[in-house]
Amino acid sequence: MDDIVIRGGQVVDGSGAPGRVADVVIRDGRVAAIEPGHVGPARRVFDARGRVVSPGFVDVKTHSDWTLPLNPRAESKVRQGVTTEVIGHCGFSVAPVLPGRVELLRDYLAPSAPWLPFRETTFAEYMDAFPATSVNTVMLVGHNTLRLMAMGMANRPPTADEMTLMRRMLEEALAAGALGLSSGLFTAPGCFAGAEEMVSLAHVLRRYGASYATHVRDEARRVFEAVREAIAIAETCGVHVEIVHLKLSGTDGWGGAARLLAEIEAARQRGVPVDCDQYPYTTASNPLRNLLPTWVQEGGVDAMLARLGRPDVRDRAREDIAADGLGSWGRIPSWDAVRVAVSPHRPECEGRTLGDIARSRSFDGVDAVCDFLIADRGATRVLIASMAEEDVRELLRSPMVLVGSDGYAVAPYGVTGQGKPHPRCYGTFPRVLGQYVRELRLLTLPQAIHKMTGGPAAAIGLVARGLLRAGYRADVTVFDPETVAERATFDEPHQYPVGIVTVIVNGVPVVDGGEHTGALPGQVLRRRSGGVG
Ligand SMILES: [Zn+2]
């Protein structure tokens, strides 16, 4: 007897090939057959006529390690059709945590994971103890976290002992099955690392056949240099590199997407293993403190807070921002482009822009930033409208740019329902399918699905996932191509999308008739010599 038959849908298999009408048969957690007119008894039959049946979406760029332990149902992800998430990006992993370093990491990640409990752990223990969730997870270990463990927020190169410690922690994580190393070179303490440090770590990656995922050093005026730095790591160290949330931030760089893509394409033509992903929005999200020049964060949170109260420090920050723009976001049209997403101590300001707040208090944006950071002890999170829609579309049209949300799993209820997070947490995949495929016809449905399934699965080496093929793991998403759409907005982000009908993870329905079943069939997928599975 078959476990599940999904009948009569348009099967788009994730390879980029056009769809065809067929039944998808699932047995023992795997796709048993894909054929028209399948006969035989099944425990459960889904009628998919008029709907698209695709592989479950692989969200190749996420931060759900911050929220899955708080709500393992991964509500805002599975309701988009996501069945696998890559977590630990941008240098920020919640493990390993060395003895005596728990507070340090908690303070550091407070703007990102304000509700998450932290504890001392090795990466292997972290993977073993990760809770059962509704999605499969693939884990990266963060360079910023490793550096924080080895040498705090020091702005200098590591000593030989510190470098050895970072390499050893990386080796432990890779031996446990981490996909690879993530970096966040745009912010402290990752930005204090030079090329030599990253090359040393990349050599460890190479020994394990592991991957490097980088939030590059600058996404604004120096984005070309930063992308070249990432490509050079891939080329000189022989490791796969994923350039995450590719963008041109800041008004100075707007319109440069085609040139940036040409550089990456040229590297790929040379045989360099480089991939990239994007989220389909013109607005970014980050800790507020990262909008200030990086020297502000030297020495850690307490040192930063002491600095931010001083008028001379604010003047110096003001000058740096006037010259260079906001950290690695570059120049923005005005402070109205920065909106408070989460403020633990001033929740009444969530949703308001810094321009609006500054005007109502008769001071400028820099004072608003500094006062928020002091009130929230550095834990404020913001949204930054810093990109051009034409660049977002140029990237989305490119077959080599994968779709990754950069969001974390949240829900409209419970602890993760606080604040006003980026709507990408709820809407990334339905937005691409509704807005950009159906409404704007920027790309075809099979192309878009490939960028969400087969493309990312190949980039990270997932074994038997990412395509609909007999023998593959049964991660499946069924949606209505006529209605699929995001509903989350910046004002009301906590809204599930529409049109995602059924989502199956490892052969178990997690979304059924648009509702969560409560099932937690996700697995922690580990990198081994043959791939990630
Ligand atoms: Zn990032």
User: Dihedrals φ, ψ of 391, to 5°?
Assistant: -70, -40
pLDDT digits (tens, 9 = 90+) for 371-381: 999 999 999 99
Beta-strand ranges (E) seen in 356-400 are 381-385
By DSSP bridging, strand 82-87 and strand 136-142 are parallel
pLDDT at 228: 98
pLDDT at 1: 95
Q: Could you say which architecture CATH assigns to the domain 2-55+465-482+495-519? A: Roll (2.30)
Using the mean position of ligand 1's atoms as its centre, give its distance from the Cα of residue 114 in Å: 17
pLDDT at 243: 98
Band (pLDDT 50/70/90 cuts) for residue 363 is confident
pTM: 0.96
Q: Are 448 and 437 in contact (CB under 8 A)?
A: yes
Q: Give residue limits of the domains in the chain.
A: 2-55+465-482+495-519, 57-282+387-460, 287-385
pLDDT at 239: 98
Using the mean position of ligand 1's atoms as its centre, give its distance from the Cα of residue 403 in Å: 14
pLDDT digits (tens, 9 = 90+) for 463-514: 999 999 999 999 999 999 999 999 999 999 999 999 999 999 999 999 999 9
Per-residue pLDDT at 251 exceeds 90? yes
Record the tokens describing residue 89, joined without a space: 């990006």
Using the mean position of ligand 1's atoms as its centre, give its distance from the Cα of residue 37 in Å: 46
The amino acid sitting at 192 is F
CA distance 208 to 280: 33
Q: Which position has the token pair 């432990």?
A: 172
Using the mean position of ligand 1's atoms as its centre, give its distance from the Cα of residue 374 in Å: 23
CA distance 369 to 354: 8
pLDDT at 418: 92
Using the mean position of ligand 1's atoms as its centre, give its distance from the Cα of residue 348 in Å: 27
Peptide bond into 189 cis (omega under 30): yes
pLDDT at 486: 98
Q: Are 61 and 277 in contact (CB under 8 A)?
A: yes
Using the mean position of ligand 1's atoms as its centre, give its distance from the Cα of residue 36 in Å: 43
Using the mean position of ligand 1's atoms as its centre, give its distance from the Cα of residue 44 in Å: 41
pLDDT at 361: 84
Mean pLDDT of 516-524: 98
- Tell me the average pLDDT of the chain: 96
Using the mean position of ligand 1's atoms as its centre, give its distance from the Cα of residue 226 in Å: 13
Coil, helix or strand at residue 317: helix
pLDDT at 309: 94
Written in H, E and C, the secondary structure of 161-177 is HHHHHHHHHHHHHHHHC
The distance between the two most distant Cα atoms of the chain, rounded to a whole number of Å, is 77
CATH topology classification for 57-282+387-460: TIM Barrel (3.20.20)
pLDDT at 74: 98
